[in-house]
Structure 1
Amino acid sequence: MPVSKTSKQGATPSGPARAATINDIARLAGVSKKTVSRIINHSPLVRKDTREKVEALMREVGYSPDPMARGLAFRRSFLIGMVYDNPTAQFIVNMQYGALDALRGSGFELVVHPCDSRSPGYIDGVRRFVQQQKLHGVMLVPRVSEDQALADMLDEIGCRYTRIAAVAMDDHSRMVITHDRDGAAEAADYLQTLGHRDIALITGPASYRSAIERTGGFVEALAKRGIELPKARIVEAGYTFESGVAAAEKLLSGKRRPTAIFCGNDEMAAGVYRVALRAGIGIPRQLSVVGYDDSPLASRLWPPLTSVRRDTRDTGRVAAAMLIQAEEGAAARPVASVRPHLIVRDSCQPPD
């Protein structure tokens, strides 16, 4: 009985196709497994004609290196982790897109770990995630990036990390700073320039550094222009649509309503839109609204929302790129930062 031959894709006439392995590539190309490994990892110790032949073969059979297997072979992982606890889904999606932009073509892959930073065992959970996946490094996204105990744990187990935060909280080689205070100050200056003086503020959770910075930047910018924000005009919420609705109901239910509201993110600003619509309050004719993040939601609301843009995708790209760059010269690198700026749309006008 004749023996069936295995195809380049690893299929047999009587069986399903299997993914090609590095051994298959070496055999079909007539080179050693070590040579294929060197080509996969962009080693200069391979002749050009050999590299081109092997790369053409890998494309032909659809071979893709397994990052876990590469990690075992090279005694290091080709996985980057992203750890987050954030209620805003779009923010997380944009951050992932940015990280993937940086990793594309590098041989590294992204794995994510959502967690509840209020849970007493969440740091142990992150530790298990890092050790089980043998991660090359970890991106820490707000709010977990603000937790020093988490950063200390990663230091202890020897895992490199980058922290994304509103202010510097670590060595600059580990930080991507988003300058939230400056973005909020720009929003305050804009509303004051329009002539608003009775202004309200819906903040994020007081335990979040981003909320502290945005509140501080907004209040201080108004104070410089002679406008004091009474405590009754500041309402803490949770960076969610629902909490924005609850905060807006407090601010807009009285006889004397503010003429403008600055919200700590776009989700809460959308909550203000909901309450204003129910109450028959016209935006921007009777109420000006400014958000923060300039998420896709901002341009989909009607009227389109004026919002502080922080390029979340670019932030994720910078944070991931820092993890895969060579360690040499890290101390000499400038501080990584992503600057916010106000995007003016149709949700604001001078008060009547």
Structure 2
Amino acid sequence: MSGNAKPTINDIARLSGVSKKTVSRVINRSPLLNEETRKRVDDVIRQTGYIPNPQARALALRRNFLIGLVHDNPNAQMVLGVQQGILSVLKGTEYELIVRPVDRGSTTLVADVRSFLERQRLHGVVLLPPISENDGLASLCLELGCRYVRMGSAELDDAAHMVASNDREVVREVVTFLMTTGHRRIGIITGPPGFRSASERHHGFNEALVAGGITPEPAWAVEGNYRFESGLVATRNLLAQDPRPTAIFASNDEMAAGALHAAREMGLDVPADLSIIGFDDTAIAAHIWPPLTTVRWPIVEMGKAAARKLLAGTIDALPEMPGDALFLSALIQRASVAPPR
């Protein structure tokens, strides 16, 4: 090497005293090497600052160094949280993240995802709810030899292919907390149909009421779509009931913010006249007034775990992560809940 010329694979082979093929095997983490040779080549790579050509590696390994994130989710905060978790794991590696939105209602969903996976030759893919609940997509990944992890609000697969949260259990805790505070008339703004998270949270809500000796009131369960506006409309409907609920559980923070806005619109004080609890613990929960009691959903940690599962065995420096499949959410008490008048 001379001047400012960048080192090549031929330079690494010459300085290491091995063949170019051996250098390639070291770079690609081939098991067909003894540890002494691997260390000698790695030391030369580190000393020279050699950076392998990603295109050449992709051709040699017949795959790209790309992790896919496939979603059809109206909750932008969830998607951003997962991205944050994945990118924190990919930082400092040669892997990059590529995000692909899809239409879960499309009749060509599986074909569209197949085309995406085949065209990009992904190392692995993270499937977000609700499409993670589609067993056909998991089977497709297996067929194409593409690693995958399904994210959900309940167990969807074996531990190597799944990260899940305990939505049903934590919502039971939320409703029990409201009943302990003195509330007996409790409404719910559910998530959209077809989302396992919406189903799990609604089931947990009803189970807690029954356990507390309260019969769920159908009129106090109003459907939302995880967006602010739906929380606003749903709360107007709930507060039009006679008698009206004294507390509302919204299945995410955006809808809870809409519920707070609707209460203020109707001249009600939160929490004196109406208690409100959300789910997610996104930034909005702590920034609105009063600060929102909510459920902290460990979405960033789930994103990290998903990325680690996809990279397992490919990056020596990547530490193992305990608690690999189930992630526990937690009730965060702030100022939006008080005993009913």
User: TM-score under structure 1 normalisation?
Assistant: 0.85
Q: Match for residue 54 of structure 1?
A: 45
SS in 1 for 2:64: coil
Matched, 1:220 2:216: no
1:8 Cα deviation (Å)?
Answer: 2.7
Structure-to-structure mapping, 1:118-197, within 5 angstroms: 118-197=105-184
Matched, 1:343 2:332: yes
Q: Deviations over 1:292-333 (max 9, x none)?
A: 111111111111111111110000111111111139xxxxx9
Partner Cα distance (1:311, 1:152) in 2: 27
CA RMSD of aligned residues (A): 2.6
Partner Cα distance (2:40, 2:16) in 1: 13
**Residues 1:296 and 1:71: Cα distance change in structure 2 (over 3 Å):** same
- Whether contact under 8 Å (1:265, 1:293) holds in the other structure is yes
Give, as a single letter, the amino acid of the residue that structure 2 aligns with 1:346.
A
- Whether contact under 8 Å (2:16, 2:44) holds in the other structure is no
Partner Cα distance (1:119, 1:198) in 2: 39
**Residues 1:233 and 1:68: Cα distance change in structure 2 (over 3 Å):** farther
Structure-to-structure mapping, 1:5-16, within 5 angstroms: 8=4
Partner Cα distance (1:66, 1:90) in 2: 35
Q: Match for residue 75 of structure 1?
A: 62
Partner Cα distance (1:190, 1:107) in 2: 46
When the two structures are aligned, how many residues end up with a matched partner?
329
Q: Deviations over 1:262-297 (max 9, x none)?
A: 011111101111111211111111110000111111
- Whether contact under 8 Å (1:67, 1:109) holds in the other structure is no
Q: Match for residue 299 of structure 1?
A: 286
Structure 2, unpaired ranges of 5+: 315-321
Partner Cα distance (2:324, 2:47) in 1: 40
1:56 Cα deviation (Å)?
Answer: 3.2
1:176 Cα deviation (Å)?
Answer: 1.2
Partner Cα distance (1:152, 1:191) in 2: 42
1:199 Cα deviation (Å)?
Answer: 0.6
Structure 1, unpaired ranges of 5+: 10-19, 328-332
Partner Cα distance (1:55, 1:248) in 2: 60
Give, as a single letter, the amino acid of the residue that structure 2 aligns with 1:192.
M
- Whether contact under 8 Å (1:25, 1:57) holds in the other structure is no
1:54 Cα deviation (Å)?
Answer: 2.7
Q: Deviations over 1:64-98 (max 9, x none)?
A: 54544322223343222111111111111110111
Q: Deviations over 1:80-125 (max 9, x none)?
A: 2111111111111110111122233443222211111112222211
Partner Cα distance (2:122, 2:7) in 1: 23
- Whether contact under 8 Å (1:198, 1:260) holds in the other structure is yes
Q: Match for residue 234 of structure 2?
A: 247
